[in-house]
Structure 1
Amino acid sequence: MKIYLIRHGQTDWNIQGKIQGTHDIPLNDTGRRQAGQLAEGMDSRLVSHIFSSPLSRAMETAKEISKRQGVEIGLLPQLKEVEFGKWEGLTWEEIQERYPKEFAHWQINPAVAAPPGGETRAEIISRCKWSINEILRVTGGREDAAVVSHGATVAYLVSCMVSDQDEETIIPGNASITTIYYNPLTEDFRLMENNDTSHLSH
């Protein structure tokens, strides 16, 4: 089966460089246009299932695919964006200025450190692995699926499936498609295409 990992379209906070995390920021006009172009790009990638984060920027994107392919959306709260706690709404520069000690600790040991009120790397990986197992359960590991989520979460999903991919180096672009092939016989995952945005008119 093929798993199409999709990042939502652009938001105003994306432009401003603000950490969105679990804040429910909607798509902007560009993001809505990107979602439509993404849905067209998915015409050659027909799916039997669509899974989405419940945050509106992901749901708006998923709905465009749903409308074109006639496939209902299944909500998976575990596909939400990484929770950054008190850092949400700030730029990376503002975070370093306001939380220098916490930021330094988080950079040095992200596996156990977390932003104030946010998630650790171990917690993120745990829910990403749960999401992958749930997707395989629902699809039987044989029916193609679109999975609409967020930049950091998509990166973690890829790194959980394809062990030689580092989540810190594979943050995908807005409205991008990353294709993973899953072999149900060997239970192996293979990265087929990473961060495809060829369907977008830049």
Structure 2
Amino acid sequence: MAYCLLLRHARSSANAAGLLAGWSAGVSLDDTGRAQAQEVVDRLGELPLVRVVTSPLDRCLETVEPLRARLGLDLDLEPDIGEAHYGGWTGRPLVELAKEPLWRTVQSTPSQAVFPPSDEHAHESIATMAQRAVAAIRRVDAQVEAEHGAHAMWLAVSHGDIIKSVVADASATPLDDFQRFVVDPASVSLLRYTPERPFVLRVNDSGPLRPVPQPSTTTPETTPSGDAVVGGGAG
């Protein structure tokens, strides 16, 4: 029953330009994103994180680096929480993609969406993306609990669609409804997996988080909102 923090990378140059970055090379944080990465240190720097797992893409590494330096933790690269493989959509403007028939599928029935192949970029379905991401998060969460105990907290740094799919799974939301969740750049979502069910404690939070005392006699099953390991601003 470890606590899993999901941090979306801060704003990138592709976000600012309205491009679907995917696995494009050379996508870094813009000035706003770099400021957001510094703010992450103030928001999360007091939390007792025991492990940091991140997508291998530069925008995630740049986002978490100031926090990593503050905490003195190593980074574990996990490709399975890397961005969706958008294939032929990679690097294209969102306003252009919104005119294609596949866009409506992505928005209304994403479980049926398969991104087009490309000679340059890998492609996959949204369902495959969600399956690999959820499996990776659950696997690492189990490892953290086994190594550090039931109240350990760890951080995963990833991407909007990845985090939305993980939150949807944890909340028993069908993949076709995962677009209901909003995950802004540099926002945090908080999950806790238990033997009975996962608990979704925060989604799209942009405020400060802080440790709070642990109850000694309660469990998430009996007090799902009162046993949260963090408190702080919503956002």
What TM-score bracket applies, with the shorter chain setting the length?
0.7 to 0.9
Q: Provide runs of 4+ in structure 1 moved above 6 Å.
A: none
Deviation of 1:9 (Å)? 0.8
Q: Determine the structure 1 residue equivalent to 2:86.
A: 84
Say whether 1:3 aligns with 2:9. Answer: no
Alpha-carbon offset, residue 187 of structure 1: 4.7
2:102 pairs with 1:113:
no
Q: Look at both structures and tell me which one has the larger radius of gyration over its CA atoms.
A: 2
More relative contact order in 1 or in 2 (CA 8 Å, sep 6+)? 1
Distance 1:188 1:14, change over 3 A: same
Q: Any unmatched runs of 5+ in structure 1?
A: none
Give the partner amino acid of 2:189.
T
Distance across 2 between alignment mates of 1:104 and 1:167: 14
The answer on 1:178 being equivalent to 2:189 is: yes
- Partner letter of residue 153 of structure 2? D
Query: In 1, Cα distance between the equivalents of 2:184 and 2:107?
Result: 22
Secondary structure of 1:44 counterpart: coil
Which residue in the other structure is 2:69 paired with?
Answer: 67
Higher helix share: 1
2:131 maps to 126
Q: How far is 1:60 from its partner?
A: 1.2
The one-letter amino acid paired with 1:110 is P
Q: Structure 1 residue 180: deviation in Å? A: 1.1
1:93 maps to 95
1:32-71 alignment, distance < 5 Å: 32-71=34-73
Write the mapping of 1:11-26 to structure 2, written as runs, cut at 5 A: 11-24=12-25, 25-26=27-28
How has the CA–CA distance of structure 1 residues 108 and 6 changed in structure 2, closer, same or farther, with 3 Å as cutoff?
A: closer
**Per-residue deviation at 1:107?**
4.9
Match of 2:161 among 111, 135, 152: 152
Alpha-carbon RMSD across the aligned residues, in angstroms, is 2.1
Please list every run of 5 or more consecutive structure 2 residues that lacks an aligned counterpart in the other structure: 118-122, 209-232
Counting matched residue pairs gives 196
Distance in structure 2 (CA, Å) of the matches to 1:167 and 1:108: 10
Q: Which residue of 1 aligns with 2:171?
A: 162
Cα drift, residue 62 of structure 1? 1.9
Conserved? CA contact 2:4–2:192, under 8 Å: yes
1:33 is displaced (CA, Å) by 1.3
- Secondary structure at the counterpart of residue 145 of structure 1: strand
Alpha-carbon contact 1:84-1:119 (below 8 Å) kept: yes
